[in-house]
Structure 1
Amino acid sequence: MNNPGLFQAKWNLGRLTLCNFLALGLLGFWLWPAGQMLCVIFDEWLFHLLNDPLATSPTWLHVWAVASLRPFDAVVGVILLTLLIRGNWVFKAVQVRQAFFGFLAILLLLLFIRMLFSKLAAHMGWQHSSPSMVISGAIQMSDYFPGLEKTWELKDRSSQSFPGDHASVLLIWGMFMSVFARRIGQFVLIWGLALLFMMPRLVAGAHWGQDDYIGGVLLALLALGWGYYTPFAANVSERLLRITGPVFGWLQRVPLISRLSLVRAAQ
């Protein structure tokens, strides 16, 4: 590896086992009848706490309606990407490109794991409808903004809400960044943003809390374990660095773009 301190092409069996153990532990707790009952009790309380004010507070309604639109997901993606590739924040400027490709590799692995787990969930009958479709008196934002639902895909319900795929992406970003973060301020900002951007689906009732803190965390742990604590991220990022080298070499001659940490020469 060009930078053995960022990704290492070897197996970390201890951390890999821990990630898998925690993921299986979460699944086991969720499948345990008493654990499921506790999740439902907590989730119903959380849903009413977040969803009920939509009926009485126009500000609360409009803020979360905008945050529940599909285009807002793109805004979130830009914010997370900006922090990932910002040189000399979590990663040194010369490490940014390698960090970007490593995260991309783990994100693709997450999507693959999510596909397999969704098939398992459907086969085992673990799927359920979102709280906005189940809880009596739930406020559906699409009733207030029918035009937004049709035009901008306002997300406030789903017949298959488990696991929380939106949350799993935010969580894997948070976990990945946390592996390399060194300052308290970095951890606070990383997890503050991750939790904040998970809120729209919970406020709108598109997901139960357990879709995120069980399903989303489970998927993110598996992706982190098999992506970062194995040679996977190291090998994929190294190959992508080689393949894209000529492209970035050309971009380094383009004014303004050449100043981006992502474009500068990588280690």
Structure 2
Amino acid sequence: MGCSNLPKILLLNLFGIGLFLSWYLPENHGFWFQIDSSIFHYFNAHLATNAAFLKLVAITNNRAFDGVSLMAMGLLFLYFFLKQDAAGKRRMIIIGVVMLLTAVLINQSGRLLPVQRPSPTLSFSDINRVTELSGIPTKDSSKDSFPGDHGLMLMIFAGFMLRYFTRWSFVIAVGYVIIFSLPRIMVGAHWFTDIYVGALSMACVGLSWWLLTPASDFVINGINRLIPGYKPPSR
């Protein structure tokens, strides 16, 4: 599989590295800063003028709301899990564990990037802070917001859905990326490019070598054989 997918891997790496460099190399991040600034100020201005919007942003950025995204991913995973026989369920549990380990490794790799970037709420003065306006504790700032770890986790989940399940589950998972990363952008805890440059570039490079080569299958099958109760598939 690795050789046949080499053009896809190289294309995804070229896209991911090119996307990152288009943001990293220009002074003050070039045209990306205007996009980032416009998106942040658009949402930030509405926080002070729209009470319903303020409440929505506050609730969706409270730590408890993170459980909703986990539940959404869990339900999609459960849909496929329940359709499996005993061997399939065993394999799916291992896929889930490997997916979590992959998320940790890629996320930690993102910390090696030569970027230290505070969130918009810490970069601009005279702005609205959701916690202060609403009284609801929220994650409305970050001293190091690049790349967006929350968005990266969602993208890794989407990648595994495409590799091991179905295209329609991948489409749903991409929807999760958009829906559950948007609150972080609206509250100002992340720049738009934290998610759609930083996280996306990391996902394209990291997942391409992991999921489009035999690497992930090798680890999943290896763990499966090591755990007691393994039964080789009948031929």
Name the TM-score class by shorter chain: 0.7 to 0.9
Structure 2: 5+ residue stretches without partners: none
Alignment of 1:135 with 2:124, yes or no, is: yes
- In structure 2, the partner of 1:111 is 104
3-state DSSP of counterpart to 1:119: coil
For residues 155-200 of structure 1, what are the alpha-carbon distances to aligned partners after superposition, in whole Å with 9 as ceiling and x for unaligned? 10011111111110111222332344344xx555332222010011
Alignment identity in percent? 29
Residues in 1 aligned to 2:27 and 2:122: alpha-carbon distance in whole angstroms: 24
Describe the superposition over 1:37-72 as per-residue Cα deviations: whole angstroms up to 9, x where unpaired: 211101111112222211122211112211112221
Residue in structure 2 matched with residue 260 of structure 1 by the alignment: none
With the length of structure 1 as denominator, give the TM-score of the two structures.
0.74
Partner of 2:215: 232
- Per the normalisation by structure 2, the TM-score is 0.83
What is the rounded CA distance, in whole Å, between the counterparts of 2:113 and 2:81 in structure 1? Answer: 41
**Contact residue 39 and residue 192 of structure 2 kept, 8 A:** yes
Aligned length: 229
Structure 1: runs of 5 or more not aligned: 1-7, 250-265
Equivalent-residue separation in structure 2 for 1:101 and 1:233 (angstroms): 11
1:162 to 110, 122, 146: 146
Change (3 A) 1:99 1:219: farther
CA contact (8 A) 2:54 2:134 kept: no
Q: What is the root-mean-square deviation of aligned Cα atoms in Å?
A: 2.9
From 155, 180, 190, the counterpart of 1:197: 180
Deviations 1:7-31 (A, max 9, x none): x6x5532232222222211121112
1:21 matched to 2:4? The reply is no
Aligned counterpart, 1:181: 166
Deviations 1:120-157 (A, max 9, x none): 32xxxx211110112233221121345x43xxxx2100
Deviation at 1:243, TM superposition (A): 4.5
Shift of 1:80: 0.7
Cα distance in 2 for partners of 1:51, 1:68 equals 14
Give CA deviations for 1:236-265 in whole Å, capped at 9, x if unaligned.
Answer: 22133345564x99xxxxxxxxxxxxxxxx
Contact 1:105 1:237 in 2 (8 A): yes
* Cα pair 1:23 1:217 within 8 Å, conserved: yes
Amino acid corresponding to residue 120 of structure 1 in structure 2: L
Does the Cα contact within 8 Å between 1:161 and 1:208 map onto a contact in 2? yes
Conservation of the 8 A alpha-carbon contact between 1:16 and 1:226: yes
Where do 1:202-217 residues align within 5 Å?
A: 202-217=185-200
Contact 1:157–1:205 (CA under 8 A) maintained in structure 2? yes
